[in-house]
Amino acid sequence: MAIAPLSPGDDRAAFRSGSPALDKYFRSLGPRAAGKGLIALFVLTLPSAPAPRGFYALSGLTLRLPDLLGERGPRPSRYPEIAAARLTRLCVDKRHRRQGLGAALLADALSRLAALPSPPLAAIADAPSPQARHFYARHGFRAFSDRETQMFLALQPAR
C-alpha cells in the first residue's frame, strides 16, 4: 500500500465511493482545489492495482479556542486562536472497504501533520454521516458541542 499526493496520472475515473458528491469531489473539485493550493489531496493505491482506492484532503485553518472548549472551558486571554488542520474528506472506494484502508489514510494524515515544522494543535474532521462520526470517534476524535458534522482531535498538548 502506498499513500502519496495526487498526481495528474492518477486514474480517478474508476473510483466509486457510493456517494455521487464524493465521487465528483475526487474526480474534479478536489484536484482543482489542490491545483490552486487550497488543499493537499492524497491518494492510497495498492500494489495489485495502481488506481486510487482511497483518498483524503487536508487544509489549514485557524480555530478559536472558545469554539473548541465551549462555554465551560477556560477563557484564553493571550492566544485566543490556534493553528489547526481540517480533514475535509476521507473516503475509501466502496469495493475496498473493511480492509483497514480508512484507518491507514487517517494515520497517514495525522503522521504528515505531526511531521510539519510547526504542527497544528488540533485536527478537525468533517463527519457528515453517523458512519463517519463513528469512524472518527473510534480513532479518538471528539464531538463539538455545537457542530454536529465536525469532530476534533488534539494533536499535541497545549503549552
The H-assigned helical ranges of the chain are: 20-24, 30-35, 65-69, 101-114, 130-138
pLDDT for 159 equals: 47
pLDDT the model gives residue 75: 56
Total number of domains constituting the chain: 1
Tell me the pLDDT tens digit for each residue of 117-152: 888 888 999 998 899 999 999 999 998 877 888 899
Grid cell locating 28: 474534479
Greater pLDDT, 156 or 33 = 33
- 7 Cβ neighbours under 8 A, 6+ residues apart: none
> What is the spatial distance between Cα 114 and Cα 155, in angstroms, rounded to a whole number?
8
8 Å CB contact between 90 and 109: yes
Is 85 part of any domain?
A: yes
What is the reported pLDDT for 51? Answer: 86
Higher pLDDT, 63 or 86: 86
**pLDDT over 60 (residue 74):** no
3-state secondary structure at position 4: strand
The CATH number linked to 49 is 3.40.630.30
Cα–Cα distance, 152 to 143 (Å, whole number) = 6
Question: Bridge partners of 61?
Answer: 84
Q: Is residue 64 part of a domain?
A: yes
Please provide the average confidence, as pLDDT, over all residues in the chain.
85
Residue 159 lies in a domain: no
Tens digits of residue pLDDT in 80-127: 677 889 998 999 999 888 889 999 999 999 999 989 888 888 899 999
Please provide the distance, in angstroms rounded to a whole number, between the alpha carbons at the two ends of the chain. 36
User: Cα separation of 139 and 20, whole Å?
Assistant: 26
Angle at 49 between CA 43 and CA 50, to 5 degrees: 45
pTM for the complete prediction?
0.85
The residue range of the domain holding 76 is 2-154
Rounded CA separation 105/40 (Å): 13
pLDDT digits (tens, 9 = 90+) for 18-34: 889 888 999 889 888 98
